[in-house]
Chain A
Amino acid sequence: MTLRYVSSPEIPEGLAVRIEELSLRYKINVESKMTLKNAIMRAGRGEKRQVRTIEAVKNLSLDIPHGTVVGVVGANGAGKSTLMRAIAGILPPTEGRIIVNGKVSTLLALGVGFNGTLSGRDNIILGGLAAGLERKELEERFDDIANFADLPNGFIDMPMRTYSAGMYGRLAFSVAVNMTPDILLIDEALSTGDAAFKEKSFEKMRELCLEARTIIIVSHALGTLKELCTKTLWMHQGKALAFGDSTEVTDKYLEFLNVGKVSAALEDF
């Protein structure tokens, strides 16, 4: 985490996120396992470590004003999740910089940090503390979180390994939105809930926007993005191909995919 505290704002008023010429590269190990044994044996054979450099994000610049809902689309491996992690401060930039104005809450993968042996109640506390909330604040918000997740009777005190994927997702979403974030990052997390919960989560997100909070959503469900987002970013092989009006960008993206406006791509899956 690279935190630099600034006394004078380096971000124009009204912007929630400013990304300046951001590039993100990282090396992945081609070897099966990174172990001391392998390292010594490799050194004995005089071989070098086999690594591959991945350029996940290339020279991306973006300004996101407060109160916008930004959708991010792109094929698998386009760098969407990496970009989200960089905005959250989890992955440091290789080049460029990101300025984030406000408290960030993340919902980057389902069941984030949840321990299956522990109850939903314990996991809410652990997840909230990891997100930087005080214990007292968490206790105050606990009922809101539990009510919003609306789990079947008694499940909140059952071990999370007994939860269905949908219940897991509901709880994770409920924790993330109830952290009163200024910026909410959601990665592929809206697909497990049922139709009723999906509608409820849309409503919650609209509510957050009215409070001038910012939401960035990565999703393959173009229908959802069209409905929810004011702007959409289309990423392809680490580059931003388009950023603008959601309908326009998603249409372009569909055109690129060469599938036309088929219903399958518009459905939430």
Chain B
Amino acid sequence: MTREMKPSKGESFVPLIQVFEPHKASLPPMGPYLREFWRRRRFAFELARFTDKAEHLNSPLGAVWLVLNPLLLALIYFLLVTIIGGRASAGSSPFDVLAHILVALFTWYFAQNCMTFGGASVTAGGKLILNQAFPRALLPLSSLIGAFQKFIPTLPVYFIIFLVGGALDSKSKLPGLNWHLLWVPVIIGLVAISGFGLALLFATMNVYFRDTSKLMTYGARMWLYLSPVLWVPEMISGWHRIIIWINPLGPILSITHVVWIKGENPSWTLWLGASSWALALLLAGGYFFISRERDFAVRI
């Protein structure tokens, strides 16, 4: 009762013979893992799309909230910073302060959503994990895609505010349209890599400690205050600047400020810092997650 088994078209990566063996807390063979991960990427995209669809079925305003929520939050922070902190009186135009808070907060929320959605991705995918064999890293990847889809609509909104507001406010020093804005896709790419690393880290932690996502709410708030979102990197000098470098999102948020608000080329040290952190987060998160993912089915 044998037959010849050949992979059908489009299934060339499907292993015909699979061998399951004992493992310790170590990585599986990465070549096959990554091939399978890449082959099933469509699942991560569709999972993100369907999760979004399921969420919006009950919310008529739907996508509008995605933009409105960080926008209103930015206004609140702006009022806090300018009225209570009196930063506008320090010489810069109030609009420039608002523009900085807006772009930094939008970028920050992209990373924070990766952490929040990613943190819950494995524990929420319980049934799927117990019943299907697939590279589990697709679940945090789906969280990254979901966070990216929520971030993208905020960009044109910001762009309009940035251009129109900058032109209307005579005191504004915003650079307007300039070549340095070509760095924006690179910034988004680095935030996405960092965000994926964070999603992998928190997803694994949440499997072992189910209160991680609750603690993350407070942790993320603290992290936000320590990042150049409500303040600008130039406000800090001397050895205090270490606060920017030891913060995994510090360099990339500084780059965001330099490109959007100052209209300058970010220094190579900032690029080095941001790319090193992105790579470190991806490798650490990837190792932590993939070396433990075979344990998930037992712990879910």
Contacts and interface: CB of A to CB of B under 8 A. Distances in A.
B133 A90 contact: yes
Contacts of A10: 17, 19
B134 A108 contact: no
B212 interface: yes
Interface stretch (B39-47, B109-117, B176-184, B237-245): B39-47
Contacts of A104: 18, 133
A43 B296 CA distance: 24
Given A2-B21, A3-B29, A92-B20, A66 B215 contact: no
Interface string A85-116: 11011111111111111111010110111110
B20 A65 contact: no
B15 A3 contact: yes
A97 B20 contact: yes
B31 to A, nearest CB: 8
B170 interface: no
A196 B162 CA distance: 65
- Chain B: number of interface residues, binned into ranges: 35 or more
Given A1-B135, A113-B132, A65 B15 contact: no
A117 B56 CA distance: 10
Contacts of B50: 115, 118, 122, 126
Given A34-B209, A85-B130, A99 B46 contact: no
A93 B40 contact: no
Contact of B209 (A36, A106, A108, A212): A36
Contacts of B129: 90
A86 B20 CA distance: 8
B69 interface: no
Classify the secondary structure of A's interface with B.
loop
Interface stretch (B1-9, B81-89, B189-197, B225-233): B1-9
Nearest to A125: B46
Contacts of B53: 118, 122
A175 to B, nearest CB: 11
B271 to A, nearest CB: 35
Interface string B279-298: 00000000000000110011
Contact of B127 (A13, A94, A102, A112): A112
A264 interface: no
Contacts of A109: 127, 130-131
B8 to A, nearest CB: 8
B208 A34 contact: yes
B22 A93 contact: yes
Given A4-B29, A118-B50, 14 more contacts: A1-B33, A1-B36, A1-B294, A2-B20, A4-B18, A14-B1, A90-B133, A99-B17, A103-B11, A109-B131, A113-B125, A113-B132, A126-B46, A129-B42
Interface of A: 1-6, 9-11, 13-14, 26-28, 33-37, 39, 65-68, 85-86, 88-104, 106, 108-109, 111-115, 117-118, 122, 125-126, 129-132, 134-137, 182, 211-212
